[in-house]
Amino acid sequence: MIRLLAKTSLRLRLTLLVSLLALAVTADQLYQLVREREASIAQSRERSVQIAVAGAAQQSGAIVDTRALLSLLKQLPLGAGDECFARLRQVETTSPAISSIFVTGADGITTCSSNAETGTNVSDRSYFRTMLESLAPVTSDYTIGRVTKRPGIIVGVPKFEQNVFVGGYFARLDAYWLSQLADGLASQPGAATLLLDGSGIVIAAAPRPEEWIGRMVAGSTRFRRSLEAASGVQETDALDGRARIVAHARLLPGSDEVLLVAIPEEAVTAPIERVTLHAMTKLGLSVLAALLFIWLGTERLIMRPLAAIADRARRIGDGDLPAPATRSEFLPELRQLAETLDSMAAKLAAREADLREANALLAGLAATDPLTGLGNRRDFAARSAVEWARTIRERRWIAAIAIDIDRFKPFNDRYGHAAGDVCLRKVATAIELLVRRPGDIVARTGGEEFVALLPGAQSSDAASIAERMRMAIADLAIPHEGSDTGMVTLSIGIADARPDRKDIVEELLARADAALYEAKQKGRDRIAVAQSQPFRLAG
């Protein structure tokens, strides 16, 4: 019975050893996967930008060619009536991109068109107004033709007689033809090519243009700002909620049209993950084979040296990671295994240190308001208790500032929560910039509520800072139609005290809140200061 127990214990220890080795190898495999995945995404980013730039040049070529055709056409006599219609119709059929051509006078009234429609007034269209203002060639945003009822964009060139604007020549580029031009640019499964106008509406798309054309691609502020560059690439889910590598290129310098090439991240990473899964499966089978060998044969092959190695593994499990193993009595065949254990212990020690750092970072995040980056209510409570105790010891004054954004709920209702979040971040940044002394604390304690604690300050000092806060928000000039001033404003309450050990910080904060309530009652966008006192409210 004792012999059986001893045999079982050894096998279990060796099984643990092989499992730890397998864990180290698995971690290395995962590390290689991450590196290969990042390299593949980097290559795809570079390639997608090249595709976007090439596609943009192709799309812009269609616009440039159409402008050239219109510039040539305006030099030719068109005649009138059926003769003009026939000439424009003949020119239209020479270009598969053009769905219609029409000519207007200086008043925007159509005088001739390839579809025989005249008298249509386009003076209200933005592209015609732009031409009137700039007296230069124009390219419109996404439009639906009033006559053709088909989506597309308008390309136009002005006509002058004796340096006087007398009308324009316009051609409608069909959205579905532009989509055919975009088809085939990105070959990965699930990839999409989108042509956006200046307002973010899809002019052309491939594949499945019927799902994309006319759709607004808004995305985040960061995503929209990235499109302002001539070309670039980013990882985003702004298009359809699917993680994609999105490259873009602007069609023409100064133009609003942007070509996007969007490749699903899984299309890039799936091959690597399949190879990794295969490698991990082989690794798992190898580990199982090794365990089976240990279970059946190692008792007779390895004795005391292996027991020493098992003891080393046990000490690693107990957390004795840096301690080296004693190898004086090891067989030469087992020394490499002992060295491997030492190396593994060092790696685990490093990872444990990394984990401690990560835990410290998480603790910091738990004390931070994720929207504004200021301290949250929990952080404020902890830090204010420390500063309050220090103020009592040093027999100093301390001031509290209670801050509230005026009529913030109507702001959210009118402009939406996204605009509300932007407003909160701007207000938080402005407030934080003015609370900079050592020991000062500023935090977001509610939806639109903020609080600042100023050790060593009295109400006069706090009022000066509070007024600068109020003016800083006024200088931001954030529109707010629900406010009395038409802009976002602050109401602020101030209280100070010179406390002793019987007093609590909550009493000071309550007085600041009461002053804030007074400021709101008196009309908002103002500061109210509670009477200074070395108060004795508790006990």
Amino acid letter at 317?
A: G
Q: Average pLDDT, stretch 140-161? A: 82
pLDDT higher than threshold 80 for residue 440: yes
Exposed e or buried b for every residue in 26-63, given b needs 16+ CB within 10 A?
eeeeeeebeebbeebbeebbebbbebbbebbeebbebb
CA distances from 406 to 411, 468, 477, 516 (A): 9, 17, 14, 11
**Across 377-394, average pLDDT:** 92
Q: What is the CA radius of gyration of the chain?
A: 36
Beta-carbon-side half-sphere exposure of residue 79 (alpha carbons within 13 Å): 8
Task: Give mean pLDDT, residues 151-165.
Answer: 90
- Distance of alpha carbon 401 from alpha carbon 32, whole angstroms: 53
Contact, 478 vs 423, CB < 8 A?
Answer: yes
Tokens 């007034």 locate to 121
Q: In this predicted structure, what is the pLDDT of residue 537?
A: 42
Helix, strand, coil share of the chain (percent; to 5): 50, 20, 30
Per-residue pLDDT, averaged over 283-297, amounts to 72
Query: pTM score > 0.75 for this model?
Result: no
H helices of 217-264, in order, are 221-226
For the chain, residues classed under CATH 3.30.450.20 are 50-275
Provide mean pLDDT across the span 229-244. 77
Pairwise CA distance, residues 216 & 229, whole Å: 20
Please tell me the distance from the alpha carbon of residue 440 to that of residue 222, in angstroms, as a whole number: 32
Mean pLDDT for 153-170 is: 91
Compute the residue count for the chain: 539
Asked if 401 contacts 460 with a C-beta cutoff of 8 angstroms, the reply is no
User: 167 pLDDT exceeds 50?
Assistant: yes
Q: What is the pLDDT of residue 402?
A: 96
State pLDDT tens for residues 196-210. 777 778 877 777 777
Read off the pLDDT of each residue in 154-162 and give the average, rounded to a whole number.
Answer: 91
Task: Out of 72-76, 131-135, 301-305, pick the least confident.
Answer: 301-305
Q: What is the pLDDT of residues 185-197, one digit of tens each?
A: 666 677 778 787 7
Task: Tell me what pLDDT residue 424 has.
Answer: 94
Q: Which residue has the higher pLDDT, 501 or 230?
A: 501
**Is beta strand 490-497 parallel, antiparallel or unpaired with respect to 138-139?**
unpaired
Alpha helices in 74-115 (DSSP H): 82-93
Distance, in Å, from the CA atom of 417 to the CA atom of 425, rounded to the nearest integer, reads 12
Task: State which fold the 377-529 domain adopts.
Answer: Alpha-Beta Plaits (3.30.70)
The pLDDT assigned to 5 comes to 45
With 90 as the cut, is the pLDDT of residue 489 above it?
yes
- Strands (E) in 119-216, as ranges, are 138-139, 143-144, 151-161, 164-174, 192-196, 202-206
Residue 533 has pLDDT above 80, yes or no: no
Which is more confident, 65 or 31?
Answer: 65
Return contacts of 510-519, CB within 8 angstroms, 24+ apart: 511/400, 511/535, 512/400, 512/401, 512/402, 512/451, 513/402, 515/402, 516/402, 516/403, 516/404, 516/491, 516/492, 517/493, 518/493, 519/491, 519/492, 519/493
Q: Over 70: is that where the pLDDT of 30 sits?
A: yes
Best-predicted range by mean pLDDT among 31-45, 132-146, 187-201, 317-331?
Answer: 132-146
Q: For 331, phi and psi rounded to 5 degrees? A: -70, 150
pLDDT of residue 539: 37
Tell which wins on pLDDT, 308 or 197: 197
Most confident of 113-122, 259-268, 303-312, 486-495: 486-495
- As a whole number of angstroms, the distance between CA 128 and CA 133 comes to 9
Q: Specify the fold of 50-275.
A: Beta-Lactamase (3.30.450)
Q: Which of 393, 392, 394, 401 is nearest to 499 (CA)?
A: 392
pLDDT (0 to 100) of residue 434: 92
The 10 Å CB-count burial string (b at 16+, else e) for 133-148 is eeeebbbbbbbebeee
Tell me what the mean pLDDT of segment 219-230 comes to: 70
The CATH 3.30.70.270 portion of the chain extends over 377-529
